[in-house]
């Protein structure tokens, strides 16, 4: 997993609308990258639904929240619609998992990302990370708020 203090690897991925979104788009604002395994899995559904419930509070703290998985932009669009969420979802689809790998969150043995959180500060440095011990364990929203509190 990437270490705090490291420069966050730049990326440009397609969102649920097929538009390119880059890490540089968030410069000057904190962004919490949420790496998760797969759209439509029961645990991912629970995780993103939970984060949607607290999204406004996260944004009030000057932080954007962005989900990243190996699913396609089309799958992300359908997933967002099914859940009724507004969290932007980015497709680390081709080459599969390249961005997730660059952050150290890819699980080769299963072919998708682990449940990991990476807080990138306003200057593009990794401020905080959390890697779940298993893809079945959801990082609670409290971890996000604790990270934002400690990052100032």
Catalytic residues: 44
Say if strands 106-107 and 112-113 run parallel, antiparallel, or are unpaired. Answer: antiparallel
Radius of gyration for the chain, computed over Cα atoms and rounded to the nearest angstrom: 14
Peptide linkage before 95 cis (omega within 30 of 0): yes
Q: How far apart are CA 77 and CA 62, in angstroms?
A: 25
Sign of CA dihedral 49, 84, 73, 127: negative
Say if strands 20-22 and 30-35 run parallel, antiparallel, or are unpaired. Answer: unpaired
């Amino acid at each position: 997993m990437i270490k705090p203090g490291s420069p966050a690897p730049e990326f440009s991925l397609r969102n649920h609308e097929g538009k390119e979104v880059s890490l540089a788009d968030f410069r000057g604002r904190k962004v919490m990258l949420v790496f998760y395994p797969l759209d439509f899995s029961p645990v991912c559904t629970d995780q993103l639904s939970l984060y949607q419930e607290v999204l406004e509070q996260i944004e009030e703290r000057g932080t954007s929240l962005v989900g990243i998985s190996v699913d396609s932009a089309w799958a992300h669009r359908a997933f967002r619609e099914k859940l009724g969420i507004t969290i932007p979802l980015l497709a680390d689809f081709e080459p599969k998992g390249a961005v997730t790998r660059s952050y150290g969150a890819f699980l080769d043995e299963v072919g998708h990302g682990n449940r990991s959180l990476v807080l990138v500060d306003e200057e593009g440095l990794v401020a905080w990370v959390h890697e779940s011990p298993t893809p079945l364990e959801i990082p609670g929203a409290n971890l996000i708020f604790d990270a934002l509190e400690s990052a100032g």
